[in-house]
A and B are shown apart, each in its own frame.
Chain A
Protein backbone atom coordinates (compact mmCIF):
# COMPACT_ATOMS: atom_id res chain seq x y z
CA UNK A 1 0.00 0.00 0.00
CA UNK A 2 1.40 3.35 -1.02
CA UNK A 3 0.74 6.55 0.88
CA UNK A 4 -0.47 9.52 -1.18
CA UNK A 5 -1.11 11.82 1.79
CA UNK A 6 0.71 15.13 2.06
CA UNK A 7 0.60 17.96 4.60
CA UNK A 8 0.02 21.42 3.25
CA UNK A 9 -0.06 24.42 5.58
CA UNK A 10 -1.88 22.64 8.37
CA UNK A 11 -4.15 20.62 6.10
CA UNK A 12 -3.62 16.92 5.70
CA UNK A 13 -4.51 16.22 2.08
CA UNK A 14 -5.51 12.69 1.01
CA UNK A 15 -3.46 13.30 -2.09
CA UNK A 16 -1.57 16.28 -3.54
CA UNK A 17 -4.00 16.90 -6.43
CA UNK A 18 -5.79 20.26 -6.37
CA UNK A 19 -7.76 21.72 -9.29
CA UNK A 20 -6.29 25.12 -10.13
CA UNK A 21 -8.32 28.27 -9.77
CA UNK A 22 -10.27 29.26 -12.85
CA UNK A 23 -10.41 25.79 -14.36
CA UNK A 24 -12.90 24.22 -11.98
CA UNK A 25 -15.42 27.01 -11.34
CA UNK A 26 -16.97 26.41 -7.93
CA UNK A 27 -16.97 22.68 -8.50
CA UNK A 28 -20.59 21.96 -9.51
CA UNK A 29 -19.97 21.23 -13.18
CA UNK A 30 -17.52 18.55 -12.11
CA UNK A 31 -19.58 17.29 -9.18
CA UNK A 32 -22.23 16.34 -11.76
CA UNK A 33 -19.65 14.00 -13.29
CA UNK A 34 -17.89 12.45 -10.30
CA UNK A 35 -17.59 12.69 -6.54
CA UNK A 36 -15.11 15.55 -6.19
CA UNK A 37 -14.39 14.59 -2.58
CA UNK A 38 -11.57 12.47 -4.00
CA UNK A 39 -9.60 15.71 -4.54
CA UNK A 40 -6.83 16.71 -2.15
CA UNK A 41 -8.34 20.18 -1.99
CA UNK A 42 -9.77 22.64 -4.47
CA UNK A 43 -8.79 26.21 -5.36
CA UNK A 44 -11.97 28.01 -6.33
CA UNK A 45 -12.53 30.62 -9.03
CA UNK A 46 -10.43 33.75 -8.50
CA UNK A 47 -12.49 36.11 -6.38
CA UNK A 48 -12.33 39.89 -6.27
CA UNK A 49 -14.06 42.41 -4.02
CA UNK A 50 -16.49 43.56 -6.72
CA UNK A 51 -18.17 41.39 -9.34
CA UNK A 52 -16.43 41.33 -12.73
CA UNK A 53 -17.57 40.34 -16.20
CA UNK A 54 -13.99 40.08 -17.35
CA UNK A 55 -12.57 40.65 -20.81
CA UNK A 56 -14.33 40.75 -24.18
CA UNK A 57 -14.55 37.52 -26.23
CA UNK A 58 -12.87 35.69 -27.90
CA UNK A 59 -11.06 34.84 -24.69
CA UNK A 60 -9.61 31.50 -25.76
CA UNK A 61 -6.97 30.49 -28.29
CA UNK A 62 -5.53 27.08 -28.95
CA UNK A 63 -1.80 26.34 -29.05
CA UNK A 64 0.22 23.20 -29.65
CA UNK A 65 -0.10 21.29 -26.36
CA UNK A 66 -1.81 24.16 -24.64
CA UNK A 67 -4.14 27.12 -24.73
CA UNK A 68 -4.27 30.83 -24.09
CA UNK A 69 -7.00 32.36 -21.96
CA UNK A 70 -7.92 35.92 -21.33
CA UNK A 71 -10.98 35.51 -19.13
CA UNK A 72 -10.07 38.49 -16.99
CA UNK A 73 -11.15 37.24 -13.57
CA UNK A 74 -14.84 36.96 -14.28
CA UNK A 75 -16.46 36.30 -10.90
CA UNK A 76 -19.57 37.32 -8.97
CA UNK A 77 -17.62 39.25 -6.31
CA UNK A 78 -16.67 38.10 -2.81
CA UNK A 79 -20.02 38.88 -1.18
CA UNK A 80 -21.92 36.68 -3.60
CA UNK A 81 -19.21 34.02 -3.45
CA UNK A 82 -19.67 33.81 0.31
CA UNK A 83 -23.46 34.07 0.27
CA UNK A 84 -24.20 31.80 -2.70
CA UNK A 85 -21.27 29.86 -4.09
CA UNK A 86 -19.59 28.56 -0.92
CA UNK A 87 -22.79 27.09 0.58
CA UNK A 88 -23.49 25.31 -2.73
CA UNK A 89 -19.88 24.12 -2.92
CA UNK A 90 -20.18 22.74 0.60
CA UNK A 91 -22.94 20.42 -0.59
CA UNK A 92 -20.61 18.74 -3.08
CA UNK A 93 -17.23 19.09 -1.35
CA UNK A 94 -16.71 18.38 2.34
CA UNK A 95 -13.01 19.23 2.66
CA UNK A 96 -11.30 22.57 3.22
CA UNK A 97 -10.94 24.69 0.12
CA UNK A 98 -8.35 27.17 -1.07
CA UNK A 99 -9.73 30.66 -1.64
CA UNK A 100 -8.08 32.34 -4.60
CA UNK A 101 -8.07 36.11 -4.11
CA UNK A 102 -7.43 38.75 -6.79
CA UNK A 103 -7.34 42.52 -6.57
CA UNK A 104 -6.39 45.73 -8.29
CA UNK A 105 -5.33 47.68 -5.21
CA UNK A 106 -3.81 46.56 -1.92
CA UNK A 107 -6.95 47.59 -0.01
CA UNK A 108 -9.07 45.41 -2.30
CA UNK A 109 -6.98 42.34 -1.60
CA UNK A 110 -7.19 43.10 2.11
CA UNK A 111 -10.95 43.57 2.18
CA UNK A 112 -11.55 40.44 0.14
CA UNK A 113 -9.15 38.37 2.27
CA UNK A 114 -10.73 39.66 5.49
CA UNK A 115 -14.18 38.51 4.37
CA UNK A 116 -12.93 35.08 3.29
CA UNK A 117 -10.97 34.70 6.55
CA UNK A 118 -14.30 34.38 8.34
CA UNK A 119 -15.33 31.37 6.25
CA UNK A 120 -14.81 28.08 8.03
CA UNK A 121 -14.67 26.17 4.75
CA UNK A 122 -11.60 28.09 3.65
CA UNK A 123 -8.37 26.41 4.71
CA UNK A 124 -5.84 28.52 2.83
CA UNK A 125 -5.87 31.91 1.10
CA UNK A 126 -4.09 31.86 -2.24
CA UNK A 127 -3.25 35.39 -3.27
CA UNK A 128 -3.12 35.91 -7.01
CA UNK A 129 -0.58 38.69 -7.32
CA UNK A 130 -0.56 38.51 -11.12
CA UNK A 131 -3.14 41.30 -11.36
CA UNK A 132 -2.45 44.79 -12.64
CA UNK A 133 -2.02 47.40 -9.92
CA UNK A 134 -4.35 50.15 -11.03
CA UNK A 135 -2.61 52.64 -8.74
CA UNK A 136 0.75 51.99 -10.37
CA UNK A 137 -0.03 52.35 -14.04
CA UNK A 138 -1.33 48.81 -14.43
CA UNK A 139 1.98 47.09 -13.71
CA UNK A 140 1.40 43.64 -12.22
CA UNK A 141 1.94 43.41 -8.47
CA UNK A 142 3.65 40.11 -9.02
CA UNK A 143 6.37 41.39 -11.33
CA UNK A 144 7.88 43.66 -8.71
CA UNK A 145 9.29 42.26 -5.47
CA UNK A 146 8.29 45.30 -3.40
CA UNK A 147 4.72 45.36 -4.67
CA UNK A 148 4.36 41.62 -4.29
CA UNK A 149 5.60 41.79 -0.71
CA UNK A 150 3.30 44.71 0.06
CA UNK A 151 0.22 42.70 -0.98
CA UNK A 152 1.24 39.68 1.09
CA UNK A 153 2.08 41.81 4.12
CA UNK A 154 -1.28 43.58 3.91
CA UNK A 155 -3.22 40.34 3.59
CA UNK A 156 -1.33 38.70 6.46
CA UNK A 157 -2.53 41.50 8.74
CA UNK A 158 -6.20 40.62 8.22
CA UNK A 159 -6.20 36.84 8.32
CA UNK A 160 -5.22 34.04 10.66
CA UNK A 161 -5.39 31.50 7.86
CA UNK A 162 -2.26 30.43 6.01
CA UNK A 163 -1.47 32.68 3.04
CA UNK A 164 0.00 31.39 -0.18
CA UNK A 165 1.39 33.79 -2.80
CA UNK A 166 0.58 32.69 -6.37
CA UNK A 167 3.46 33.83 -8.52
CA UNK A 168 3.53 34.92 -12.13
CA UNK A 169 6.32 33.43 -14.25
CA UNK A 170 6.53 36.58 -16.36
CA UNK A 171 9.54 37.95 -14.46
CA UNK A 172 13.30 37.96 -14.88
CA UNK A 173 14.03 36.10 -11.66
CA UNK A 174 11.13 34.34 -9.95
CA UNK A 175 13.23 33.45 -6.89
CA UNK A 176 13.52 37.14 -6.07
CA UNK A 177 9.72 37.49 -5.94
CA UNK A 178 9.37 34.25 -3.98
CA UNK A 179 11.92 35.40 -1.40
CA UNK A 180 10.21 38.79 -1.07
CA UNK A 181 6.85 37.10 -0.46
CA UNK A 182 8.37 34.73 2.08
CA UNK A 183 9.97 37.66 3.90
CA UNK A 184 6.61 39.46 3.86
CA UNK A 185 5.05 36.54 5.73
CA UNK A 186 3.78 34.21 3.01
CA UNK A 187 3.25 30.75 4.49
CA UNK A 188 3.57 29.11 1.09
CA UNK A 189 4.13 29.75 -2.59
CA UNK A 190 1.97 28.51 -5.44
CA UNK A 191 3.45 28.68 -8.91
CA UNK A 192 3.29 29.18 -11.77
CA UNK A 193 0.46 31.30 -13.09
CA UNK A 194 0.15 31.40 -16.88
CA UNK A 195 2.86 32.63 -19.23
CA UNK A 196 1.96 35.70 -21.26
CA UNK A 197 1.38 34.64 -24.84
CA UNK A 198 -0.56 35.33 -28.02
CA UNK A 199 -1.78 33.85 -31.30
CA UNK A 200 -2.54 35.56 -34.60
CA UNK A 201 -5.29 34.34 -36.94
CA UNK A 202 -3.87 33.96 -40.44
CA UNK A 203 -7.29 34.52 -42.03
CA UNK A 204 -8.01 37.85 -40.32
CA UNK A 205 -4.33 38.64 -39.74
CA UNK A 206 -5.26 39.90 -36.28
CA UNK A 207 -4.77 38.50 -32.75
CA UNK A 208 -7.16 35.62 -31.99
CA UNK A 209 -7.85 36.93 -28.48
CA UNK A 210 -9.92 40.12 -28.19
CA UNK A 211 -7.50 41.45 -25.59
CA UNK A 212 -4.63 40.52 -27.93
CA UNK A 213 -2.62 38.64 -25.29
CA UNK A 214 -3.48 36.11 -22.63
CA UNK A 215 -2.15 33.44 -20.31
CA UNK A 216 -0.56 30.39 -21.89
CA UNK A 217 -1.09 27.11 -20.03
CA UNK A 218 -1.14 23.38 -20.72
CA UNK A 219 1.46 20.62 -21.07
CA UNK A 220 3.68 22.85 -23.22
CA UNK A 221 4.59 24.99 -20.20
CA UNK A 222 5.42 22.17 -17.79
CA UNK A 223 9.19 22.26 -18.31
CA UNK A 224 9.18 25.98 -17.52
CA UNK A 225 7.04 25.46 -14.41
CA UNK A 226 9.19 22.59 -13.26
CA UNK A 227 12.37 24.60 -13.68
CA UNK A 228 10.94 27.51 -11.71
CA UNK A 229 9.68 25.29 -8.87
CA UNK A 230 13.12 23.70 -8.76
CA UNK A 231 14.79 27.11 -8.51
CA UNK A 232 12.42 28.48 -5.89
CA UNK A 233 12.69 25.30 -3.77
CA UNK A 234 16.43 25.96 -3.46
CA UNK A 235 15.81 29.44 -2.06
CA UNK A 236 12.72 29.40 0.17
CA UNK A 237 11.80 27.41 3.25
CA UNK A 238 8.02 27.55 2.88
CA UNK A 239 6.09 24.83 1.00
CA UNK A 240 5.46 25.18 -2.73
CA UNK A 241 2.34 24.16 -4.61
CA UNK A 242 3.52 23.43 -8.15
CA UNK A 243 1.45 23.84 -11.28
CA UNK A 244 1.83 24.32 -15.00
CA UNK A 245 0.73 21.72 -17.50
CA UNK A 246 0.21 18.83 -15.11
CA UNK A 247 -1.95 16.26 -16.89
CA UNK A 248 -1.05 12.85 -15.53
CA UNK A 249 0.18 11.05 -12.40
CA UNK A 250 3.76 10.99 -13.68
CA UNK A 251 3.68 14.80 -13.92
CA UNK A 252 2.62 15.03 -10.26
CA UNK A 253 5.62 12.99 -9.21
CA UNK A 254 7.98 14.99 -11.40
CA UNK A 255 6.70 18.27 -9.95
CA UNK A 256 7.06 16.97 -6.41
CA UNK A 257 10.60 15.81 -7.09
CA UNK A 258 11.35 19.38 -8.20
CA UNK A 259 10.18 20.60 -4.82
CA UNK A 260 6.38 20.85 -4.75
CA UNK A 261 4.51 19.70 -1.64
CA UNK A 262 1.26 19.53 -3.61
CA UNK A 263 0.24 20.30 -7.18
CA UNK A 264 -2.53 22.06 -9.01
CA UNK A 265 -4.09 20.82 -12.22
CA UNK A 266 -5.43 23.52 -14.54
CA UNK A 267 -5.91 23.33 -18.28
CA UNK A 268 -6.20 19.53 -18.20
CA UNK A 269 -9.60 19.86 -16.48
CA UNK A 270 -10.93 21.75 -19.48
CA UNK A 271 -9.95 19.09 -21.99
CA UNK A 272 -10.73 16.07 -19.85
CA UNK A 273 -13.26 16.90 -17.13
CA UNK A 274 -12.18 13.72 -15.34
CA UNK A 275 -8.48 14.68 -15.38
CA UNK A 276 -8.08 15.15 -11.60
CA UNK A 277 -9.98 11.96 -10.78
CA UNK A 278 -7.94 10.00 -13.33
CA UNK A 279 -4.66 11.37 -11.97
CA UNK A 280 -5.67 10.48 -8.41
CA UNK A 281 -6.71 6.97 -9.48
CA UNK A 282 -3.46 6.44 -11.37
CA UNK A 283 -1.15 7.76 -8.65
CA UNK A 284 -0.78 4.54 -6.57
CA UNK A 285 0.25 2.36 -9.50
CA UNK A 286 2.62 4.97 -10.89
CA UNK A 287 4.16 5.31 -7.41
CA UNK A 288 4.63 1.56 -7.27
CA UNK A 289 6.19 1.56 -10.71
CA UNK A 290 8.83 4.02 -9.52
CA UNK A 291 9.28 2.44 -6.07
CA UNK A 292 7.74 5.33 -4.17
CA UNK A 293 5.99 4.28 -0.97
CA UNK A 294 5.08 7.72 0.34
CA UNK A 295 4.67 10.92 -1.64
CA UNK A 296 5.78 13.02 1.34
CA UNK A 297 9.23 11.50 1.04
CA UNK A 298 9.85 12.56 -2.55
CA UNK A 299 9.31 16.31 -2.13
CA UNK A 300 12.41 18.02 -3.50
CA UNK A 301 13.99 14.63 -4.17
CA UNK A 302 15.63 15.81 -7.39
CA UNK A 303 17.91 18.25 -5.54
Chain B
Protein backbone atom coordinates (compact mmCIF):
# COMPACT_ATOMS: atom_id res chain seq x y z
CA UNK B 1 0.00 0.00 0.00
CA UNK B 2 1.16 3.52 -0.78
CA UNK B 3 -0.34 6.89 0.03
CA UNK B 4 -0.01 9.73 -2.41
CA UNK B 5 -1.53 12.72 -4.10
CA UNK B 6 -3.00 11.79 -7.48
CA UNK B 7 -4.17 14.02 -10.29
CA UNK B 8 -7.38 13.49 -12.21
CA UNK B 9 -6.56 13.14 -15.93
CA UNK B 10 -10.08 12.22 -17.03
CA UNK B 11 -13.46 11.76 -15.34
CA UNK B 12 -16.05 10.65 -17.86
CA UNK B 13 -19.65 9.60 -17.48
CA UNK B 14 -20.40 6.11 -18.83
CA UNK B 15 -24.07 5.76 -17.86
CA UNK B 16 -26.47 7.91 -15.85
CA UNK B 17 -24.76 6.85 -12.60
CA UNK B 18 -21.44 5.26 -13.57
CA UNK B 19 -18.21 7.17 -14.16
CA UNK B 20 -14.68 6.28 -15.24
CA UNK B 21 -11.78 8.22 -13.72
CA UNK B 22 -8.15 8.10 -14.78
CA UNK B 23 -5.68 9.27 -12.12
CA UNK B 24 -1.95 9.81 -12.46
CA UNK B 25 0.53 8.97 -9.73
CA UNK B 26 2.53 6.15 -8.19
CA UNK B 27 1.02 2.77 -9.10
CA UNK B 28 3.87 0.61 -7.81
CA UNK B 29 1.67 -0.86 -5.07
CA UNK B 30 -0.77 -2.36 -7.58
CA UNK B 31 0.34 -5.92 -8.13
CA UNK B 32 -2.82 -7.89 -8.88
CA UNK B 33 -6.12 -7.24 -10.61
CA UNK B 34 -8.98 -7.03 -8.12
CA UNK B 35 -7.18 -4.72 -5.69
CA UNK B 36 -8.77 -1.43 -4.74
CA UNK B 37 -7.92 2.17 -3.86
CA UNK B 38 -9.27 4.34 -1.03
CA UNK B 39 -9.95 7.95 -1.89
CA UNK B 40 -10.19 10.91 0.45
CA UNK B 41 -13.11 13.10 -0.59
CA UNK B 42 -13.34 16.68 0.64
CA UNK B 43 -16.01 17.05 3.32
CA UNK B 44 -16.28 13.30 3.97
CA UNK B 45 -14.55 11.83 7.01
CA UNK B 46 -13.91 8.29 5.81
CA UNK B 47 -12.24 7.39 2.53
CA UNK B 48 -14.16 5.82 -0.36
CA UNK B 49 -12.97 2.34 -1.38
CA UNK B 50 -13.24 1.81 -5.17
CA UNK B 51 -12.01 -1.18 -7.15
CA UNK B 52 -9.32 -0.75 -9.78
CA UNK B 53 -10.42 -1.17 -13.41
CA UNK B 54 -7.00 -0.95 -15.01
CA UNK B 55 -3.54 0.48 -14.41
CA UNK B 56 -0.15 1.03 -15.98
CA UNK B 57 3.16 2.47 -14.71
CA UNK B 58 1.81 5.99 -14.36
CA UNK B 59 -1.96 5.86 -14.17
CA UNK B 60 -4.72 4.01 -12.38
CA UNK B 61 -8.26 3.86 -13.74
CA UNK B 62 -11.33 3.32 -11.59
CA UNK B 63 -14.98 2.95 -12.47
CA UNK B 64 -17.45 3.94 -9.79
CA UNK B 65 -21.17 4.36 -9.36
CA UNK B 66 -22.68 7.41 -7.72
CA UNK B 67 -24.46 5.99 -4.68
CA UNK B 68 -24.06 8.70 -2.05
CA UNK B 69 -22.42 11.91 -0.93
CA UNK B 70 -18.82 10.83 -1.53
CA UNK B 71 -19.20 9.39 -5.02
CA UNK B 72 -21.47 12.32 -5.93
CA UNK B 73 -18.61 14.69 -5.09
CA UNK B 74 -16.13 12.50 -6.97
CA UNK B 75 -18.28 12.72 -10.09
CA UNK B 76 -17.78 16.48 -10.06
CA UNK B 77 -13.98 16.30 -9.99
CA UNK B 78 -12.47 18.04 -13.01
CA UNK B 79 -9.30 17.32 -14.90
CA UNK B 80 -6.37 18.55 -12.80
CA UNK B 81 -8.13 17.94 -9.46
CA UNK B 82 -5.70 16.57 -6.85
CA UNK B 83 -6.72 13.93 -4.34
CA UNK B 84 -5.20 11.89 -1.53
CA UNK B 85 -5.45 8.16 -2.26
CA UNK B 86 -4.28 4.93 -0.66
CA UNK B 87 -3.34 2.62 -3.52
CA UNK B 88 -2.81 -1.12 -3.72
CA UNK B 89 -5.26 -2.33 -1.09
CA UNK B 90 -6.57 -5.87 -0.77
CA UNK B 91 -5.37 -9.20 -2.08
CA UNK B 92 -6.81 -9.24 -5.62
CA UNK B 93 -7.54 -12.20 -7.90
CA UNK B 94 -5.12 -15.11 -8.21
CA UNK B 95 -4.62 -15.78 -11.91
CA UNK B 96 -2.40 -18.79 -11.27
CA UNK B 97 -5.50 -20.85 -10.54
CA UNK B 98 -7.41 -19.94 -13.68
CA UNK B 99 -6.64 -22.87 -15.95
CA UNK B 100 -6.84 -22.33 -19.74
CA UNK B 101 -10.47 -21.24 -20.06
CA UNK B 102 -11.56 -19.16 -17.08
CA UNK B 103 -15.03 -17.60 -16.86
CA UNK B 104 -15.42 -14.05 -15.60
CA UNK B 105 -18.85 -13.04 -14.31
CA UNK B 106 -19.60 -9.43 -13.44
CA UNK B 107 -22.82 -7.83 -12.30
CA UNK B 108 -23.49 -4.09 -12.46
CA UNK B 109 -20.85 -2.06 -10.67
CA UNK B 110 -19.03 -5.35 -9.92
CA UNK B 111 -17.90 -5.41 -13.55
CA UNK B 112 -14.87 -3.02 -13.35
CA UNK B 113 -12.28 -5.14 -11.49
CA UNK B 114 -12.83 -7.96 -14.00
CA UNK B 115 -11.35 -5.80 -16.75
CA UNK B 116 -7.87 -5.72 -15.25
CA UNK B 117 -8.26 -9.42 -14.53
CA UNK B 118 -9.30 -10.19 -18.12
CA UNK B 119 -6.34 -8.24 -19.46
CA UNK B 120 -3.94 -10.11 -17.18
CA UNK B 121 -5.39 -13.50 -18.12
CA UNK B 122 -5.12 -12.73 -21.85
CA UNK B 123 -1.52 -11.57 -21.32
CA UNK B 124 -0.82 -14.90 -19.64
CA UNK B 125 -2.04 -16.69 -22.77
CA UNK B 126 -5.37 -17.87 -21.39
CA UNK B 127 -8.72 -17.76 -23.15
CA UNK B 128 -11.22 -16.14 -20.82
CA UNK B 129 -14.96 -15.86 -21.48
CA UNK B 130 -16.83 -12.94 -19.94
CA UNK B 131 -20.44 -12.60 -18.84
CA UNK B 132 -21.58 -9.13 -17.86
CA UNK B 133 -25.02 -8.77 -16.30
CA UNK B 134 -27.09 -5.58 -16.20
CA UNK B 135 -30.71 -4.70 -15.56
CA UNK B 136 -31.33 -2.94 -18.87
CA UNK B 137 -29.63 -1.52 -21.94
CA UNK B 138 -29.00 1.98 -20.58
CA UNK B 139 -27.02 0.58 -17.64
CA UNK B 140 -24.51 -1.26 -19.83
CA UNK B 141 -20.90 -0.05 -19.78
CA UNK B 142 -17.52 -1.36 -20.96
CA UNK B 143 -19.02 -3.83 -23.43
CA UNK B 144 -16.58 -2.82 -26.19
CA UNK B 145 -13.60 -2.85 -23.85
CA UNK B 146 -14.27 -6.43 -22.77
CA UNK B 147 -15.22 -7.57 -26.30
CA UNK B 148 -11.83 -6.36 -27.56
CA UNK B 149 -10.13 -8.75 -25.13
CA UNK B 150 -12.34 -11.82 -24.98
CA UNK B 151 -15.62 -13.42 -25.97
CA UNK B 152 -18.15 -11.35 -24.04
CA UNK B 153 -21.79 -12.21 -23.38
CA UNK B 154 -24.16 -9.53 -22.10
CA UNK B 155 -27.25 -10.40 -20.09
CA UNK B 156 -30.08 -8.00 -19.29
CA UNK B 157 -32.97 -8.66 -16.96
CA UNK B 158 -35.43 -7.05 -19.38
CA UNK B 159 -33.90 -8.72 -22.44
CA UNK B 160 -33.17 -5.41 -24.17
CA UNK B 161 -29.65 -6.59 -25.05
CA UNK B 162 -28.07 -10.04 -25.24
CA UNK B 163 -29.34 -12.96 -23.20
CA UNK B 164 -32.58 -12.20 -21.38
CA UNK B 165 -32.31 -12.91 -17.67
CA UNK B 166 -29.47 -13.16 -15.20
CA UNK B 167 -25.78 -14.02 -15.57
CA UNK B 168 -26.61 -17.54 -14.44
CA UNK B 169 -28.86 -17.99 -17.50
CA UNK B 170 -25.80 -17.45 -19.69
CA UNK B 171 -23.58 -19.66 -17.53
CA UNK B 172 -25.60 -22.83 -17.71
CA UNK B 173 -24.17 -24.40 -20.86
CA UNK B 174 -20.70 -23.03 -20.55
CA UNK B 175 -17.63 -25.10 -19.98
CA UNK B 176 -14.86 -23.39 -17.99
CA UNK B 177 -11.74 -24.23 -16.02
CA UNK B 178 -12.25 -21.75 -13.13
CA UNK B 179 -14.50 -18.78 -12.44
CA UNK B 180 -14.01 -15.26 -11.08
CA UNK B 181 -16.90 -13.07 -10.06
CA UNK B 182 -17.73 -9.66 -8.64
CA UNK B 183 -21.20 -8.25 -8.14
CA UNK B 184 -24.13 -8.00 -5.77
CA UNK B 185 -24.95 -10.64 -3.14
CA UNK B 186 -28.12 -12.00 -4.83
CA UNK B 187 -26.03 -12.66 -7.95
CA UNK B 188 -23.38 -14.42 -5.85
CA UNK B 189 -25.99 -16.69 -4.31
CA UNK B 190 -27.35 -17.60 -7.74
CA UNK B 191 -23.82 -18.27 -9.04
CA UNK B 192 -23.04 -20.41 -6.03
CA UNK B 193 -25.96 -22.68 -7.04
CA UNK B 194 -25.06 -22.74 -10.74
CA UNK B 195 -21.27 -22.71 -10.91
CA UNK B 196 -19.16 -25.82 -11.39
CA UNK B 197 -15.69 -26.25 -9.90
CA UNK B 198 -13.49 -23.74 -8.13
CA UNK B 199 -13.67 -19.99 -8.28
CA UNK B 200 -13.06 -16.67 -6.55
CA UNK B 201 -15.62 -14.13 -5.36
CA UNK B 202 -14.79 -10.48 -4.76
CA UNK B 203 -16.81 -9.07 -1.87
CA UNK B 204 -17.96 -5.64 -0.87
CA UNK B 205 -18.42 -4.39 2.70
CA UNK B 206 -18.66 -1.12 4.54
CA UNK B 207 -15.10 -0.32 5.58
CA UNK B 208 -13.49 1.93 8.15
CA UNK B 209 -9.84 2.13 7.15
CA UNK B 210 -9.51 -0.18 4.14
CA UNK B 211 -6.10 -1.48 5.18
CA UNK B 212 -6.76 -3.96 7.98
CA UNK B 213 -6.49 -1.85 11.11
CA UNK B 214 -10.04 -1.32 12.38
CA UNK B 215 -11.68 -4.74 11.94
CA UNK B 216 -14.77 -2.97 10.60
CA UNK B 217 -15.28 -5.34 7.66
CA UNK B 218 -14.58 -8.74 9.20
CA UNK B 219 -16.30 -11.91 8.07
CA UNK B 220 -16.18 -15.52 9.14
CA UNK B 221 -14.76 -18.03 6.66
CA UNK B 222 -13.98 -21.74 6.82
CA UNK B 223 -10.33 -20.69 7.12
CA UNK B 224 -11.01 -18.38 10.09
CA UNK B 225 -11.94 -14.72 10.50
CA UNK B 226 -10.94 -12.51 7.61
CA UNK B 227 -10.96 -8.79 6.93
CA UNK B 228 -12.59 -8.06 3.57
CA UNK B 229 -10.24 -5.10 3.06
CA UNK B 230 -6.95 -6.82 3.86
CA UNK B 231 -7.39 -10.60 3.59
CA UNK B 232 -9.97 -10.04 0.81
CA UNK B 233 -11.83 -8.63 -1.00
CA UNK B 234 -11.30 -11.81 -3.02
CA UNK B 235 -12.17 -15.05 -1.25
CA UNK B 236 -11.94 -18.59 -2.55
CA UNK B 237 -15.19 -20.40 -3.20
CA UNK B 238 -14.15 -23.19 -0.84
CA UNK B 239 -13.71 -20.94 2.19
CA UNK B 240 -16.89 -18.87 1.96
CA UNK B 241 -19.65 -19.39 4.51
CA UNK B 242 -22.90 -18.38 2.79
Residues of A whose CB lies within 8 Å of any CB of B are 22-25, 29-30, 32-33, 45, 53-54, 57-67, 69, 71, 74, 208, 218-219, 267, 269-274
Contacts and interface: CB of A to CB of B under 8 A. Distances in A.
A219 to B, nearest CB: 8
A29 B208 CA distance: 14
Given A32-B1, A273-B3, A57 B219 contact: yes
Q: Which 4 A-B pairs have the closest CB atoms?
A: A270-B209, A60-B216, A58-B206, A60-B208
27 contacts: A25-B213, A25-B215, A33-B1, A53-B218, A53-B225, A58-B206, A59-B208, A60-B46, A60-B206, A60-B207, A60-B208, A60-B216, A63-B45, A64-B45, A69-B216, A71-B215, A71-B218, A74-B218, A208-B206, A218-B45, A269-B213, A270-B208, A270-B213, A271-B40, A273-B1, A273-B86, A273-B213
Interface of B is mostly: loop
Given A53-B225, A59-B206, A271 B45 contact: yes
Given A53-B218, A53-B225, A271-B40, A29 B45 contact: no
Interface of B: 1, 3, 40, 44-47, 86, 205-209, 211-220, 225, 230
Given A60-B46, A67-B46, A270-B46, A74 B211 contact: no
Contacts of B44: 62
Nearest to B230: A29
A46 to B, nearest CB: 10
Contact of B212 (A29, A59, A60, A272): A29
A22 B214 contact: yes
Contacts of B47: 271
A256 to B, nearest CB: 24
Contact of B45 (A32, A45, A65, A273): A65
A278 B162 CA distance: 53
Contacts of B206: 57-61, 208
B109 to A, nearest CB: 16
B102 to A, nearest CB: 29
Contacts of B213: 23-25, 29-30, 269-270, 273
